[in-house]
Amino acid sequence: MPVSFRLLIAAGVLALAGCATLSTPSSVSYVVVRHAEKATDDPRDPSLSDAGLARAETLATLLRSRDVVAAYATEYRRTSDTAAPTAAEHDVSITSYESEAPAEAVAERLRRSHANGTVLVVGHSNTVPGIVSALCGCEVAPIDESDYGNLFEIRIDGDAPPVLSRRRY
């Protein structure tokens, strides 16, 4: 084998090895919220009230500068209507998940499907704390039925432990 060919192979191997060491660790943020304020138009599957529509727009504004790669909502109008402005802003479709699904199953689906970017998850007062707990591996207090303004963010950088932050929006 000629020396120049061996050098070419060695250079190729070194180049590939260099690429492997330059890869950045994955970083994903799960933004989990309860649906916005609901209207009284349908007792089973209400739409959002005017206040709820305004809150959904506020959420989209908060996430406007983020790299939102996915939006999830349950099978109810109030959750998909809450996610809709953010999904439209980032040109992503809303993926449905079952409101009755176990929180750990929802969290596993999210972790399996997304390793990078920001993922919006809209749930209910009785499901959000469980999903957040399953994503961060920590305890999260229940949400009162009258409380609509919590935003939980679980940030996972590579192999580091998840970091939970909570704020009002």
pLDDT truncated to tens, each residue of the chain (169 aa)? 554 544 444 444 444 444 444 445 689 999 999 999 999 999 999 999 999 999 999 999 999 999 999 999 999 999 999 999 999 999 999 999 999 999 999 999 999 999 999 999 999 999 999 999 999 999 999 999 999 999 999 999 999 999 999 999 9
Quote the pLDDT of residue 26. Answer: 83
Residue 149 lies in a domain: yes
Return the structure tokens found at 137.
């591996």
106 class by beta-carbon count within 10 Å (0-12 exposed, 13-18 middle, 19+ buried): buried
Number of domains in the chain: 1
The CATH number assigned to the domain holding 71 equals 3.40.50.1240
Q: What is the pTM of this model?
A: 0.85
Residue 6 lies in a domain: no
Quote the pLDDT of residue 79. Answer: 98
Contact (CB, 8 A) for 127 and 10? no
Residue 159 lies in a domain: yes
Residue 15 lies in a domain: no
Q: How far is residue 79's CA from residue 92's CA, in Å, rounded to a whole number?
A: 15
Provide the residue type at 101 as one letter.
Answer: A
Structural domain range at position 58:
24-168
Return the structure tokens found at 9.
């192979």
